[in-house]
Amino acid sequence: MTPRTRVLGELADRLVGLDPGHPLRVGIDGPCGVGKSRFAAELVRSITARGADGVHLDSDGFHHPRAVRHRQGRDSARGYYEDAYDFDALAERVLRPLGPGGSGRYATAVHDLPSDATVTDAYAEAGPRTIVVFDCTFLQRGALRQLWDEVIYLDARRATAHTRAVDRDADLLGGREAATAAHDGRYLAAFDLYLAEERPRQRASIVVGHEDPAAPYVVKD
């Protein structure tokens, strides 16, 4: 068994063993490029391998429309931090319906990123033991952090996350130089604001060292 498989299994065991009386709301937090989406997808596979109902929600379906995302400027770090994601919709259409006294009916998306269209008809039903995993930077902002049952923070050095993010986005953003500038000036700069204002690592219920994705380890649980 690899270190990654072992850690994912331990986390899955922990989550499957929890019963808050409603679907479990799990956030995967961390800097841009740290590997949140892959980690979330693999964690859900580990959850379902244990016979539980695991769901991975894609944060791309919870962006604001382009006009909102770019209203502070396409290069603005503050604009990315405050305007990239529709966290009000996430709270009202996902986290509260999944929480205490909720209906269990939740939105799987509110926005289509490629077309920039609003989505109003994408819903699913969660059972009382469903585990819903959502990965996104900034998910412990303000009042939103009170709506998670567990938050797993993936921790890596800023330089490591930066390199991974540039590798991932170079083709999308027009080359390594453009991707480096975008992450320096907007994406990781926005994460720096988040670190300073919200202390997400300290507030997370679980911290996973993710400097080497092949050998993660639990720092705090």
Rounded mean pLDDT of the chain? 95
From the list 94, 105, 107, 151, the residue with the least C-alpha distance to 127 is 105
Provide the pLDDT for residue 170: 83
Q: Are 210 and 156 in contact (CB under 8 A)?
A: yes
Provide the pLDDT for residue 106: 98
Provide the pLDDT for residue 20: 96
Q: At residue 215, does pLDDT exceed 90? A: yes
Instruction: Give the pLDDT band of residue 173 (cuts 50, 70, 90).
Output: confident
Q: Are 96 and 102 in contact (CB under 8 A)?
A: yes
Q: What is the pLDDT of residues 18-57, one digit of tens each?
A: 999 999 999 999 999 999 999 999 999 999 999 999 999 9
CB atoms within 10 A of CB 209: 15
Instruction: Give the pLDDT band of residue 203 (cuts 50, 70, 90).
Output: very high
Question: Please, is 213 exposed, middle or buried when counting C-beta atoms within 10 Å of its C-beta (0-12, 13-18, 19+)?
Answer: middle
* Best-predicted range by mean pLDDT (32-46, 159-173, 180-194): 32-46
**Which DSSP helix (H) or strand (E) runs through 163?**
helix 158-173
Q: What is the pLDDT of residues 127-158, one digit of tens each?
A: 999 999 999 999 999 999 999 999 999 999 98
Q: At residue 168, does pLDDT exceed 80? A: yes
- Taking the C-alpha atoms of residue 76 and residue 63, their distance in angstroms, rounded to an integer, is 16
If you ran DSSP here, which 8-state letter would residue 64 be given? P
pTM of the model: 0.95
Q: What is the pLDDT of residues 45-89, one digit of tens each?
A: 999 999 999 999 999 999 999 999 999 999 999 999 999 999 999
- Taking the C-alpha atoms of residue 24 and residue 35, their distance in angstroms, rounded to an integer, is 22
What structural domains and CATH numbers belong to the chain? 3-207 (3.40.50.300)
